[in-house]
Amino acid sequence: MGFVQVSTADGQKMQAFEVLATNKDAPGLVLIQEIFGVNASMRQLAQDWAERGFNVWCPDLFFRSEPGLELSPTNQSQLDLGLELMQEMDNELTLGDLESTRAQLAQKLGHENIVAVGYCMGGRLVVEFAQKSPIKAAVSYYGVNLENVLPPLGQAAPTMLHIAELDKWVQGDARGVIEAEAAKRTGWESHVYAGCDHAFARPKGMHFDADADRLAIERSMAFFTCHC
């Protein structure tokens, strides 16, 4: 457990939090952060996924602006900074950084059996990553802006979408668009969690829902078993 260095396509150096499974031949998993950086919640999630049998790398996607940034979702000024950094991101560069992470994780493991999981901002990025990268499968937790990302998206790896019923970031007709897009794609699934709000799977978060989190994990693990 600790940080490793990823060389990006444009010659930059990016840190990624690494937690390895006890079985080094286990699948790799690229874990994609929320807007709060690779903070304690993301590091906990990395450990959780490693305990489920994955070799995990969680890259610091804000490194071009604020390397090593750790923000709190309960601090309004830090929340605002996270939103600002997300809006300022170069999306293609970020997807390239994720691919560099995947490729170097695969090189370290000696196989290409790599999947990806993303939360919030990462829940949107992982869907785009599934279209750009040769990952085997993807899982998106309460991804933001998916109603705009999904309609033009081309062929992509099998993807599971976990959607919070009360998510303020998925309003109006957005959820219907997201579910319809998932339904028409081969190998895709979407699940809505009744009574749950955004970030229902964030460890120790204010909207954490243990039952929904457990169900989402069970579904995600079954999904990965089918595809990797």
Please list the active-site residues: 167, 198
- Other beta carbons less than 10 A from residue 10's beta carbon: 10
Task: Look at strands 159-164 and 13-19 and give their pairing.
Answer: unpaired
- Maximal CA-CA distance, the chain: 45
Q: Where are the alpha helices (DSSP H) in the chain?
A: 40-51, 76-88, 91-109, 121-132, 146-149, 174-183, 210-227
Q: How far apart are CA 179 and CA 18, in angstroms?
A: 33
- Other beta carbons less than 10 A from residue 159's beta carbon: 27
Q: How far apart are CA 62 and CA 14, in angstroms?
A: 9
Mark residue 110 as left, alpha or beta (left: phi above 0; alpha: psi -120 to 50; beta: remaining): left
